[in-house]
Structure 1
Amino acid sequence: MHPPLPALYAESRPLPPYRALFAVDAKDFTGLPAVQHGPVSQLIPELVDRALENAGLNELRDSKRFPANTGDGVVFGFDPVFLPFILWPFLGVLDDILGAYNQQSVGPRIRLRASVHVGPLPDADQPGDGNGTARNDTHRLLDSRPVKAILAAASEQITHLAAVISHRVYEDVVLGAYTGLHPDRCVEVPATVEGKNFSQQAWLYVPSPSGNLLEAGVRPREEPAETVSRELGPVSGSGTRYSGNTQHVGEGAALMGNVGGDFTYTGRSASYHGTNQHWGSGDNVGRDKQVDGPRDPR
């Protein structure tokens, strides 16, 4: 017997606990040959777990709530206390892990979109746990136009990860200064999904922007006041090491300012189409912009 559906607004009931959510999916997964789908589907959660370990988040890795393999990615819930560390340093570590893997792999490149959100979700070790509006919005953010466009516009040699952060997480964690991710490393975007009734304010963070993204108003990341050195080994080795939530950044860049409209990218050169694009530095683009090609930010 399925439990009866609760009547709306007929009575008050306890609010489910707030759970943070992290989701990733792979760019161009459906374009891979069918024989590669299974191995790549298994590889992505392994890379995510390795990044959690290298970021010092073993406790989170072992305490995921309602984890799921989506075929082209993974999604899981976790205690919101870890949100500051997911934003920084985990996203940067994951970018490093993907870069090291792609550099030595003879198979397809693994480039990921990620989304981070938080909200009330059932979590009582019962069937249906983790389902709710917050879960739906996490996947909508992951499929939104800006994060897809920014990953398509970047060099596949340098930029391996693009993350979209919900406004709720940005406001509570980033503006609240609980994380090492500075607000100036994020860019505001309208998150919309083609064919879906979804529109939210969100924030993009790209740990390693490249090429044409640099032409659009991106500056190198600055080191935190307190840093520790990091060493990046092979993907099968120790990887990036962190102490607490500080790191020494040897390279990379950050998006600045606001984007006030959809933008798309075509071809290998930097061509952005659309209007009302606002960047905190660099050019303000009112029409199509064309530059010669990507640069290596290093």
Structure 2
Amino acid sequence: MSVPVPAPYAESRPLPPYRALFAVDAKDFTGLPAVQHGPVSQLVPELVDQALERAGLRELRDAKRFPANTGDGVVFGFDPASLPFVLWPFLGVLDDLLGAYNQQYVGPRIRLRASVHVGPLPDGDGPGDGNGTARNDTHRLLDSRPVKAILAAASEQVTHLAAVISQRVYEDVVLGGYSGLHPDRCVEVPATVEGKNFSQRAWLYVPSPSGNLVEAGVRPREDPADRTGASADPADRDRAAKTRPGPRYQGNTQHVGQGAAVMGDVGGDISYTGGATSYHGTNQHWGSGDNVAGGKRVGGAGDEGHR
């Protein structure tokens, strides 16, 4: 028996319950040898469940709504009341767990992209549960350019997780002060997906940014003339910066309390040669490319915190 498809705008009907959504997928999964696809597909949800338990979210782990294994990751819904704890400490605990796994095991590194969203979705123990715009947007966020670019640019030895948070979650949970995740640990990014009609404002959070990301955010890239010492005059270097080809970032300031922020095209070449760096500014605006920020926690997880 076919299920009738309701016509929009024809009448009013009850709004489905709001459900939070969490999704992850593994970087470079399709590039793995076929023999590793099955084990990695099983490993990712196991790591997520371990992190949920370690973050004190055992009840959430056992009460997932419409969970699905996507092959290279996992997606599930949950009670929005748990959103503050998923943002903090869970994401940080998952990052720590991935780092420990990657150090101890021989095999492919498991580095994940994550997305967190919320919206009305059917959830009545039916076959169509969890399907809707919010679910689609969760996967689009997961596939968006900024989160892919930052994970590709970061050191695989240090940065194991990059998370993109929807504007709705950011406003309600982060700016609302309900989560231990401070706004200064996040940076606004334009979430777009190549080949898809999708563009949303979102926020990027990198629990453990590698040094090259920090360096890229606080120090301008050198011109060849600078590296060869052709011009030591600051005025000459300033004029060269104004005339150099490619995108320039002018008038951009960032406020970073604890963590790191990156400004520029994170899809390009980034090198790190310096030591620890800190930066303080005001509000951040981006011109083109991706702006990235993250917070570096001190200590371990115990510091608490289809398509």
Q: Which residue of 2 aligns with 1:254?
A: 259
Whole-Å separation in 2 of the counterparts to 1:200 and 1:167: 8
C-alpha contact (below 8 Å) 2:95/2:160 kept by paired residues = yes
Q: TM-score, normalised by structure 1?
A: 0.77
Q: Which residue of 1 aligns with 2:167?
A: 167
Kindly provide the CA deviation profile for residues 197-217 of structure 1, in whole angstroms up to 9, marking residues without a partner as x.
Answer: 000000000000002111133
Aligned to 1:217, the other structure's residue is in SS state helix
Whether 1:269 and 2:274 are equivalent positions in the alignment is no
Write out the 4+ residue segments of structure 1 that deviate beyond 4 Å after TM superposition: 283-288
Q: Which residue of 1 aligns with 2:63?
A: 63
Deviation at 1:265, TM superposition (A): 2.4
Q: Which residue of 2 aligns with 1:206?
A: 206
Whole-Å separation in 1 of the counterparts to 2:217 and 2:99: 23
Which amino acid letter does the alignment assign opposite residue 105 of structure 1?
Y
Whole-Å separation in 2 of the counterparts to 1:170 and 1:211: 26
Structure 1 regions of 5+ residues with no counterpart? Answer: 219-252, 271-278, 289-296
Deviation at 1:264, TM superposition (A): 4.1
The structure whose residues are more often helix, as a share, is: 2
Aligned to 1:189, the other structure's residue is in SS state strand
C-alpha contact (below 8 Å) 1:256/1:280 kept by paired residues = no
Which amino acid letter does the alignment assign opposite residue 52 of structure 1?
L
Which amino acid letter does the alignment assign opposite residue 195 of structure 2?
G
Query: Matched residues, percent identical?
Result: 82
Distance 1:284 1:77, change over 3 A: closer
Kindly provide the CA deviation profile for residues 75-133 of structure 1, in whole angstroms up to 9, marking residues without a partner as x.
Answer: 00000000000000000000000000000110100000000000000000000100000
Whole-Å separation in 1 of the counterparts to 2:79 and 2:288: 44
1:110-129 equivalence runs, <5 A: 110-129=110-129
Kindly provide the CA deviation profile for residues 19-58 of structure 1, in whole angstroms up to 9, marking residues without a partner as x.
Answer: 0000000000000000000000000000000000000000
Distance 1:280 1:156, change over 3 A: farther
Distance 1:286 1:143, change over 3 A: closer
Whole-Å separation in 2 of the counterparts to 1:265 and 1:156: 15
C-alpha contact (below 8 Å) 2:213/2:261 kept by paired residues = no
Which has more radius of gyration?
2
Whole-Å separation in 1 of the counterparts to 2:67 and 2:287: 43
Q: Which residue of 2 aligns with 1:72?
A: 72
Q: Which residue of 1 aligns with 2:179?
A: 179
Which amino acid letter does the alignment assign opposite residue 56 of structure 2?
G
Aligned to 1:122, the other structure's residue is in SS state coil
* C-alpha RMSD over aligned residues: 2.5
Deviation at 1:269, TM superposition (A): 3.2
Distance 1:106 1:128, change over 3 A: same
1:1-298 equivalence runs, <5 A: 1-217=1-217, 254-256=259-261, 263-266=265-268, 269=271
> What count of residue pairs does the alignment treat as equivalent?
244
Deviation at 1:8, TM superposition (A): 1.4
